[in-house]
Each structure stands twice: as C-alpha cells, then as structure tokens.
Amino acid sequence: MIIKSADFICSNTQISKLPPPTRPEYAFIGRSNVGKSSLINMLVQKKGLAKTSQTPGKTQLINHFYVNETWYIVDLPGYGYARASKSKKADWNKFIQTYLDKRESLQCVMVLIDSRLEPQKIDLEFCSWLGEKGLPFVLVFTKADKQSAVKTDQNIAKFRKAMLAFFEEAPQHFITSSELHTGRDEILGFISNINQS
Ligand code: GTP
Ligand code: MG
C-alpha cells in the first residue's frame, strides 16, 4: 500500500465523540512504552504524527488518524503503566474495553508486544480478554532492532506457546522495528487485504 496521506483527526476520552464508524479502523494497543506511537509514525512515514516519548504513559486518549482518506489508525493509551493510580487504571480499563467491545468499524486489534521480553502476564491476559470477546487481533512484536534475530525468535516462540493456554492456535504475528522500518510492508499489506475484502 502506498501512503498518500495521514492526518490527525481527533483525540477523545468519550466514545460518543469518536468519528462516525463508517471507515475500516485498526487499533494499536499494548503495554505503555512498547512503541505504539513510533510504529504508527513508521507505518505512515510521518515523524511526529503520533506523539512518542521515553516516559511511559504519553498517549492518554483515543487518537484517530485518517490514512489515504479511506481508513483509520487508532493510537490507544498503553496498559500496565505501573505508576498510574488505581482509579486511573480502572478508568483506562473501562474506557478502552468499551471502545474495543463496541466499535463497529474496528477491523482488527494490533497487539504490540516488546520482542525483548519473555511472555508477560499482562499481555497474555489482554489477549485472553480479546479472545473472550471474539475480537480479531494479531500480534506485533516491537523493537526487534534491540537484540539478535535469534533472541527475538525465541521470545516469539515462547509467547506463542504461552497463548496455547487460552487459544487453539496463536494468531498471526509480525516482527517490527520502527528504527529500521522492519515489518512495514507486511503490516500495510495485511491492512490493505482487509480493506479490500
Ligand atoms: P505510550 O504512549 O506511553 O504508551 O508509549 P508508546 O507505546 O506509544 O511508545 P512510544 O512509541 O512513545 O515509544 C517509547 C520509546 O521506545 C521511545 O523512546 C521510542 O523511541 C522507543 N522505540 C519505539 N519503537 C522502537 C523501535 O522499534 N526500536 C527502538 N530502538 N526504539 C523504539
Ligand atoms: Mg503512545
């Protein structure tokens, strides 16, 4: 897919104020600091479109970006930010879960996982919740430039194996690096296929 345009549309804390659900939409989600905003910028080749930060918890709202005037990328706040207060975490859960569960135009949830880490309970629990809700999702392993390909593959194999506790088979996955632009063609190809179906 060639990206001709990518524009910020709106940031929301209220489901009622989201753009009308008339275009295919892909939500990017994962632990705080996993690299969601960086990946979005890499995909659309627009540095600074989604705000990135070394400090976890940067993205606090549901952010809609309109791509090629046909589909939306949605940047969501990260989960598992240890320093967020209990009430803030509860708010996050309610708000994001409502969005994911109710958004009719949501085609696929892109679950970002840090490829440097052994399987994390919070990621597995989140995938399990998506499975319970019957929401389509894929795994996107991030920051692959930060270690050897062998280590990345080992962590992915462990994650996929851990998923078999909840799923008959692990979903499709992508390996990405926002630094090296790894995985860009694969993810855009995946989205393009769904948009055309
Ligand atoms: P929140 O919005 O806070 O949940 O974070 P996020 O998941 O959007 O992460 P963000 O894209 O802001 O990136 C967090 C940090 O990781 C930044 O310092 C990025 O530069 C760095 N980073 C993200 N992706 C990559 C990558 O592929 N490779 C490397 N080396 N660093 C990355
Ligand atoms: Mg972010």
Per-domain residue ranges of the chain: 6-196
What's the pLDDT tens digit per position in 132-155? 999 999 999 999 999 999 999 999
What count of Cα atoms within 13 Å lies in the side-chain half-sphere of residue 34?
A: 29
CATH of domain 6-196: 3.40.50.300
Q: What ipTM was assigned to the predicted interfaces of this complex?
A: 0.98
Q: Whose CA is nearest to atom 2 of ligand 1?
A: 59
CA of 13 to the centre of ligand 2 (A): 15
- Ligand 1 is surrounded, with C-beta below 6 A, by 32-38, 52-54, 56-59, 78, 142-143, 145-146, 177-179
What's the pLDDT tens digit per position in 3-43? 999 999 999 888 889 999 999 999 999 998 999 999 999 99
CA of 185 to the centre of ligand 2 (A): 21
Distances (CA, A) of 162 to 37, 50, 136, 150: 26, 31, 18, 18
Nearest-atom number in ligand 1 for the CA of 30 is 7
pTM: 0.94
Give kind and range of the element (H or E) at residue 108. Answer: strand 106-114
Provide the percentage of residues in the chain whose pLDDT is more than 70: 93
